[in-house]
Amino acid sequence: MGSGRAGSTARPSDGDWNEVSRVVDQQKLSSRLSALESYLTELRSFRAYSRERFVAEPALHHLAERYLHLACESVLDIAHHVIADQGYPQAASYRDSIEVLEGEGLIDGNLSERLKRWMGFRNVLVHLYLELDHGRVFDAIQEDLGDLEEFAGSMAHLLT
């Protein structure tokens, strides 16, 4: 995919990285990254609970599910912000927004695949909440938050 910048269809090279980072609205990106980090901090606190207690107590798993939903929305908000700000090709779906970032060299293919799974999980949180496996939510908090943390780190590079 091209960068979408006038007169250029090539991805930014490593030498152009600073040029790209200066274009991003740093205030907006910083506030979105701060929101994501606050949701991740809240989610990490659920690691202190046993699986049994987490699954059995609606007050715990419902709150955790909301924080996961907000974290996923933050990822999408950040992706859409960077895409619009940089003039990258517009994404037709949530998964496409992750692919655009990969295509522009802002995240690698491995992270892209993991984030696309998160976007699928986001859809379950939003649309299939009555069928949600609270044990799977517990597992995601225990094992998979690193994906969202890695994304935040990748996007934070745009602030430097």
- CA dist., res. 81 & res. 153, Å (int): 16
* Residue 16 pLDDT greater than 50, yes or no: no
pLDDT in tens, 93-132: 889 999 999 999 999 999 999 999 999 999 999 998 788 9
Angle between helices 145-156 and 58-86 (to 10 degrees): 30
Q: Which fold has domain 24-159?
A: Four Helix Bundle (Hemerythrin (Met), subunit A) (1.20.120)
How do the domains of the chain map onto residue ranges?
Answer: 24-159
- Section 43-59 average pLDDT: 98
> What is the biggest distance separating any 2 CA atoms in the chain, rounded to whole angstroms?
57
* Residue 57 pLDDT greater than 60, yes or no: yes
* Residue 83 pLDDT greater than 90, yes or no: yes
- Confidence at residue 128, expressed as pLDDT on a 0 to 100 scale: 87
- Confidence at residue 14, expressed as pLDDT on a 0 to 100 scale: 42
Among 12-16, 112-116, 132-136, which stretch is predicted with the lowest mean pLDDT?
A: 12-16
Contact at 8 Å (CB) between 25 and 85? yes
